[in-house]
Amino acid sequence: MSEIFISYARPDEPQSKRIADALRSEGYCVWRDDELPAHRPYADVIQERLSSAGAVVVLWSAAAAKSQWVRAEADAARTLGTLVQARLDQTIPPMPFNQIQCADLKEWDGDRDTSSWNKLVASVAALAGAIPESEGRQSSGPISVCVLPFANMSGDPEQEYFSDGISEDITTDLAKVSALEVIARNTAFMFKGQSADVCDVARKLGVSHVLEGSVRKAGTRVRISAQLIDGKSGSHVWAERYDRDLTDIFAIQDELSKAIVDALKIKLLPEEKKAIQQRGTTSPEAYNLYLMARQYWITGNHGDRRREERVVRICRRATEIDRDYARAWALMAIAQSSLRYVFGGGEEVDDGVAAAERALALDPGIAEAHCPKARHLAEQNRFDEADAEIAIALRLDPDSWEVNKEAGTILIRQRRVDAATRHFEKAAGVMETDFHAWGMLFSCYQAQGKTDEAKRVSEMVLKQAERVLAEDPDNGSALSLGATSLAVLGQPERAKQWLERALLVDPDNLNIRYNFACNLLIHFHDTDAALDMLEPVFAAAGVPMIKLVEGDVDIDSVRSDPRFISMMKEAKKRLGIKPATPSAASATSAPPRL
């Protein structure tokens, strides 16, 4: 659900609070500047919230019309296409905002049945999405909980993977309890790194309780502190600290989950207790390695083969320690499949199918293990079978980040852009920090001619790319997709700087080169530079990537170029790709780029 940003002048704070509360009661997540954290610069937070908001509600009044802050926020929202306006008095909004429709709330008394309020809500819904009755932020049961990301207290940022993994596993454990509603991991992780007020989190997410905690891992010892807090009163319902040897990590998690269930006075069914105790492995060492590999997979440089090779290497070690660790087999399969997707031109690159089959033999419920199998089938143009694999995966876990991204990618291969869009929307919503998913969504909207949506998403791509680059300045993929967004947003010089920087830090990343070639053709109209960028792609890319190039609308302007024709011919010869079938050649909706 998109956040709603409220812009107002300080004298209008009582009215703004009433409007914010009314929007919250409609089911929206609303932000005002009274929620500014104490440790961050004011302007930085405002810019971040403006850029990410689905709708920006500007409350005009005599004071607001004179406020430079309100004018600046309104102008930013107008540029982003997220502006919603309302008048609190007789004041006419200043130019150019007086040319835009404005809801009249000057005599609004809080009644949500009035035409003026319904006009405002309709505009918010058009931009940020309507809130279906079944999806409002009201708990579906009397007891619900959000597990906030546990803080890493190890004094070593490299241990972040472990604290994140513990948080995810506690969420998964509690979700197995039928009497308890648990907020999804990725919704909870929106609060990661923030000094969030627990009662505010509970109100925004519609939960009765919030679990927060910390993890300190040092050598062979681990300390986990956790506290369960009542969402309304802010009082502690339960708190405990576990200071044990790392070999006791599974016992700690079992005890912690049981203690939370007991504190909530919920009856744990025998089968639920058994499900919670199933960890997938009995080896703390293998478990630690899996968490490390998972973090590399989520946060690594997309398209950089070193990421895939690192994940495969770590998962292989985990499966050597525990041959029956299904989750490690599944993650290894996904990384192998990704490595082949970009770089594999022959049998020397494992396509991940064997590892996926091993994972499913050990645990048929792992949705992500179907992704490498689906990709393998799609590579052979067996799309009906690939779709069937994805359908199984979605039935197992409709909210899986990996499954929805793979579904979107395979649908793109079939030129089914509308269907692909829905899956990329889901993937980006589930893992909001994944700038690549946002980039694919941008390309879908662009291919559909949805200019406003594409521009809005390009803002999100840039925001997430900048976030990643703040932590990893050498992330070439973030530079690549961020550069495309900069070009779209009218900053060509900065876009060129990012392009040059990316090629310096990650020259072998084929995804970067391909995206740059598209960027050069569409935004800079430089055919020679684009073909120079594509040459290494044709020389090293795997079958799926070459097939994508074959149908990508962004490349259409150079298809008749002799140099392009020659490179494509040599790549197909190298990979043994047969000519496109008539049905594929006659498709009308070309897929967007990687």
pLDDT, position 551: 65
Provide the angle, in degrees to the nearest 10, between the axes of the packed helices 510-522 and 492-505.
Answer: 160
Strands in 35-124 per DSSP E: 55-60, 83-87, 103-104
Query: Is residue 434 one of the residues assigned to a domain?
Result: no
* Domain shared by 92 and 121, yes or no: yes
514 with 534: CB under 8 angstroms?
yes
CATH number at residue 56: 3.40.50.10140
Query: Is residue 522 one of the residues assigned to a domain?
Result: no
Query: Is residue 355 one of the residues assigned to a domain?
Result: no
* Domain shared by 85 and 193, yes or no: no
pLDDT, position 319: 97
Lowest mean pLDDT among 97-111, 133-147, 474-488: 133-147
pLDDT, position 41: 61
Q: Tell me the pLDDT band of 344, cut-offs 50, 70 and 90.
A: low
**Number of H-type helices and E-type strands within the chain:** 27, 11
pLDDT, position 584: 39
> Residue 34: is its pLDDT beyond 70?
no
pLDDT, position 594: 41
Task: Report the candidate in 399, 407, 346, 345 with the shortest Cα–Cα distance to residue 371.
Answer: 407
In terms of average pLDDT, the best of 68-77, 126-135, 324-333 is 324-333
Q: What is the mean pLDDT of the chain?
A: 84
* Domain shared by 58 and 164, yes or no: no
Of 135, 158, 185, the residue that ends a domain is 135
CA distances from 104 to 32, 54, 88, 107 (A): 20, 21, 7, 8
Residues facing residue 511 across a β-bridge: none
Q: Tell me the pLDDT band of 36, cut-offs 50, 70 and 90.
A: low
The whole model's pTM is what?
0.67
Q: Tell me the pLDDT band of 520, cut-offs 50, 70 and 90.
A: confident
* Domain shared by 127 and 156, yes or no: no
Among all chains, which residue has been given the structure tokens 């040599």? Answer: 570
Provide the angle, in degrees to the nearest 10, between the axes of the packed helices 543-551 and 562-575.
Answer: 150
Which SS3 state, helix, strand or coil, does residue 531 take?
Answer: helix
Rounded Cα–Cα distance for residues 385 and 397 (Å)? 19
> Residue 580: is its pLDDT beyond 60?
no
Nearest 5°: the CA angle 300, 304, 310 is 65
* Domain shared by 91 and 211, yes or no: no
Query: Is residue 456 one of the residues assigned to a domain?
Result: no
Q: Tell me the pLDDT band of 587, cut-offs 50, 70 and 90.
A: very low
CA distances from 258 to 251, 253, 255 (A): 11, 9, 5
pLDDT in tens, 186-205: 778 878 877 777 888 888 88
Rounded Cα–Cα distance for residues 428 and 195 (Å)? 24
Percent of the chain with pLDDT over 70: 91
Domain hosting 129: range is 3-135
Rounded Cα–Cα distance for residues 400 and 430 (Å)? 8
pLDDT, position 343: 66
Lowest mean pLDDT among 216-225, 297-306, 382-391: 297-306
pLDDT, position 322: 96
pLDDT, position 37: 52
Task: Report the candidate in 119, 128, 121 with the shortest Cα–Cα distance to residue 53.
Answer: 128
CATH number at residue 196: 3.40.50.10610
Find the length of the chain. Answer: 594
pLDDT, position 140: 46
Residues facing residue 103 across a β-bridge: 86
pLDDT, position 134: 37
Q: Which residues contact 447 (CB under 8 A, 6 or more apart)?
A: 417, 553, 589, 590, 591, 592
CA distances from 324 to 280, 329, 355, 358, 529 (A): 8, 8, 11, 9, 50
pLDDT in tens, 561-579: 999 999 999 998 888 887 6
Rounded Cα–Cα distance for residues 399 and 61 (Å)? 43
* Domain shared by 78 and 172, yes or no: no
Mean pLDDT of 318-346: 87
Which SS3 state, helix, strand or coil, does residue 400 take?
Answer: coil
Task: Report the candidate in 345, 390, 343 with the shortest Cα–Cα distance to residue 369.
Answer: 390
HSE (side-chain half, CA atoms, 13 Å) at 365? 2
* Domain shared by 193 and 113, yes or no: no
pLDDT in tens, 96-109: 888 788 888 888 88
Q: Tell me the pLDDT band of 40, cut-offs 50, 70 and 90.
A: low
Mean pLDDT of 524-552: 83
Of 83, 100, 135, the residue that ends a domain is 135
* Domain shared by 149 and 131, yes or no: no
Mean pLDDT of 110-131: 78
Query: Is residue 321 one of the residues assigned to a domain?
Result: no
Rounded Cα–Cα distance for residues 168 and 184 (Å)? 9
* Domain shared by 10 and 70, yes or no: yes
**Residue 498, token pair as written in the block:** 């990012």
Task: Report the candidate in 544, 499, 542, 490 with the shortest Cα–Cα distance to residue 520.
Answer: 499
Q: Tell me the pLDDT band of 130, cut-offs 50, 70 and 90.
A: low
> Residue 583: is its pLDDT beyond 60?
no
CA distances from 124 to 3, 190, 200, 528 (A): 10, 21, 22, 45
Of 279, 296, 314, the residue that ends a domain is 279
Rounded Cα–Cα distance for residues 481 and 458 (Å)? 9
* Domain shared by 97 and 167, yes or no: no
Q: How many domains does the chain have?
A: 3
Cβ burial, residue 489 (10 Å; 0-12/13-18/19+)? middle
Query: Is residue 548 one of the residues assigned to a domain?
Result: no
pLDDT: is 339 or 195 the higher one?
A: 339
**Residue 420, token pair as written in the block:** 């692909």
Rounded Cα–Cα distance for residues 593 and 552 (Å)? 6
* Domain shared by 129 and 10, yes or no: yes
Query: Is residue 220 one of the residues assigned to a domain?
Result: yes
The reply to whether omega before 96 is within 30° of 0 (cis) is yes
pLDDT, position 588: 36
Lowest mean pLDDT among 42-46, 63-67, 300-304, 372-376: 42-46
Mean pLDDT of 502-531: 84
* Domain shared by 29 and 128, yes or no: yes
**Residue 124, token pair as written in the block:** 């918010």
> Residue 52: is its pLDDT beyond 80?
no
Query: Is residue 261 one of the residues assigned to a domain?
Result: yes
